[in-house]
Amino acid sequence: MSQPFSTVDRRQVLQGIGAATLAAAAPRALRAQNRSDVVVIGAGLSGLAAALILQEAGLNVRVIEGRQRVGGRVLSYRSLPGSPEAGGTSFGPGYARLVDAARTHGVGLVNLGPVLRYYGQRELFLDGEHVPASAWADHPRNPFPAAARETLPWRFMGGFLAQNNPLKTTDAWVDPAHADLDVSLFDFLKSRGLSDEIINLTYNVEPTHGSSAHDVSALMMLFVTSFIGAQRALAVPGQAPFLTAEGGNQAIPEAMAAALSNEVELGRSVEAIRSEDDQAEVHCTDGQVYKADRVVCTVPCSVLRRIKLDPILTGPQARAVQTLDSQIINQAHMVAKSPFWEKDGIDPNIFSDGLVCSLVAEHKAKDPAEVSSLTAWIRGHDAALLDQMPTDQAKAAIIADIERMRPAAKGQLEIVEYKSWYRDPFSSGDWAVWQPGQVSTLAAQLAAPNGRIHFCGEHTAISNRGMEGAMESGERAAFEVLSAA
């Protein structure tokens, strides 16, 4: 299997394909205006990465996007100080493709090292009551064995998974040799000796994937753990451990889009994709039809299953598209009228078993110590509950929950931006969540081409997660297209 974080020299690959192959792609001068060599569906990182590689190879590429912006699930809120992120919060130096894209397209990078210490401390709230760190070891809700009783809940699971992770490389999670680990995270943790109480407090209260440890595959979580470990191993002392883009991470896909010869066409919602013997067609809800030799589709499965594909998908690939879901997660980005944390004398950051499982003070002002905004995270079943409410009611519930825990915050919070990724019709959730049994039976077929249709997106990445996974997948899809030309 490939080594983790191996990089590919695009120019060497393109040269290796051969000028004759590229020249044979098609006589572009004879084509109609809406005909291209390749149509890319989606102007997120994966689609833009694929488009730029294909453009560099000499192909005529058209990128269409359903939203009225580029970036996909990378979204920076520039209405707030420091442009906090609703998707793609930060990245490490090991995100080689993403860092290269930023540098290639002139996007400045910001070292987050000076502010990391402000994110490390969190205040624990259980049943709405504050539990000081000094009282945690003897607290009646503490489920840990004697040797770990001083461990705060949010610091436990990552370390435990790292210590019990048999995967040696970041791509090993799709190796059939590890199919026995394609069970629920709950079953995996129970088999390693954890109690229901520990699992509930250290995962279910703040689930990163799924709504609980029951509905995410242990293989997925071990992959995530391997990726985090590989990123840490790539960190160089004295250099930035985490980065963000100047003006918000959305600046990276925006700069990539600006480098395209053909401007990204926004507001193009796709309803059908057809692959024929000699061409492919993309049909949009507004009646626009795009024709091309090849299509690159970046749409996540939670949305792709609403798009008509011809020919239809079959077998494991069809089951994957119909069943692979995206993470339900909501965020409320707020400003504080006054620093209420100074009034109640505790850190603004929160870990809670309430509706708002996490409240994070952002430090994106010129002075690293200044709180520029606050982000409330709502995950799992609580996020699904909010998605059933009108937006104003959901916002009121979030503020009420914070005020219940922190009376000093009463009347001091204003939600400037609210994001439900599930309600976003072009993502229907955030990152992909592989359920128990899905990895070993479906992952290998998910990204297989369907005639002239090629698939990418972070859900198809093998060795990387998040933004780097999206870039990896776009690179792979582009090379598929070039090899098939």
Final residue belonging to a domain, choices 234, 261, 290: 234
Q: What is the pLDDT of residue 237?
A: 82
Say if 174 falls within a structural domain.
yes
Entry pTM:
0.92
Q: Do 304 and 266 reside in the same domain of the chain?
A: yes
Final residue belonging to a domain, choices 372, 399, 420: 420
What is the band of 422 on the pLDDT scale with cuts at 50, 70, 90? very high
The total domain count for the chain is: 3
Can you state the percent helix, strand and coil of the chain, rounding each to 5? 40, 20, 40
402 vs 412: CA distance, rounded Å: 11
What one-character-per-residue DSSP string does 105-125 give? TT--EEE-GGGHHHHH--EEE
pLDDT tens-digit map of 297-336: 999 999 999 999 999 999 999 999 999 999 999 999 999 9
Tokens 């944390």 label which residue?
341
Q: Do 342 and 469 reside in the same domain of the chain?
A: no
Taken in order 142, 159, 172, 45, is the CA torsion positive or negative?
positive
Q: Do 291 and 229 reside in the same domain of the chain?
A: no
475 vs 96: CA distance, rounded Å: 13
Q: Is residue 24 predicted with pLDDT exceeding 50?
A: no
The answer to whether 346 and 122 have CB atoms below 8 angstroms apart is no
Say if 171 falls within a structural domain.
yes
What one-character-per-residue DSSP string does 226-274 give? HHHHHHHHH--TTS-SSEEETT-TTHHHHHHHHTSSSPPB-S--EEEEE
Final residue belonging to a domain, choices 166, 201, 234: 234
Q: Do 187 and 138 reside in the same domain of the chain?
A: no
Q: Do 311 and 457 reside in the same domain of the chain?
A: yes
Q: Do 318 and 457 reside in the same domain of the chain?
A: yes
What is the band of 12 on the pLDDT scale with cuts at 50, 70, 90? low
Q: Do 126 and 261 reside in the same domain of the chain?
A: no
Q: Do 460 and 405 reside in the same domain of the chain?
A: no
Tokens 């909010």 label which residue?
386
The domain in which residue 193 lies consists of: 146-234
Q: What is the mean pLDDT of residues 29-48?
A: 82
The answer to whether 297 and 453 have CB atoms below 8 angstroms apart is yes
Say if 90 falls within a structural domain.
no
Q: Do 124 and 174 reside in the same domain of the chain?
A: no
Q: Do 411 and 278 reside in the same domain of the chain?
A: no
What one-character-per-residue DSSP string does 43-92 give? -SHHHHHHHHHHHHTT--EEEE-SSSSS-TT-EE-TTSTT--EEE---B-
Q: Do 229 and 373 reside in the same domain of the chain?
A: no
List Cβ neighbours of 412 (8 Å cut-off, separation of 6 or more).
336, 337, 338, 340
pLDDT tens-digit map of 363-415: 999 899 999 999 999 999 999 999 999 999 999 999 999 999 999 999 999 99
Q: Is residue 20 predicted with pLDDT exceeding 50?
A: no
382 vs 67: CA distance, rounded Å: 26
Q: What is the CATH number of the domain that holds 227?
A: 1.10.405
Percent of the chain at pLDDT above 90?
A: 89
Q: Do 320 and 448 reside in the same domain of the chain?
A: yes
Q: What is the CATH number of the domain that holds 386?
A: 3.90.660.10
Say if 102 falls within a structural domain.
no
Query: Rounded to an integer, what is the distance from CA 263 to the centroid of its chain?
Result: 25
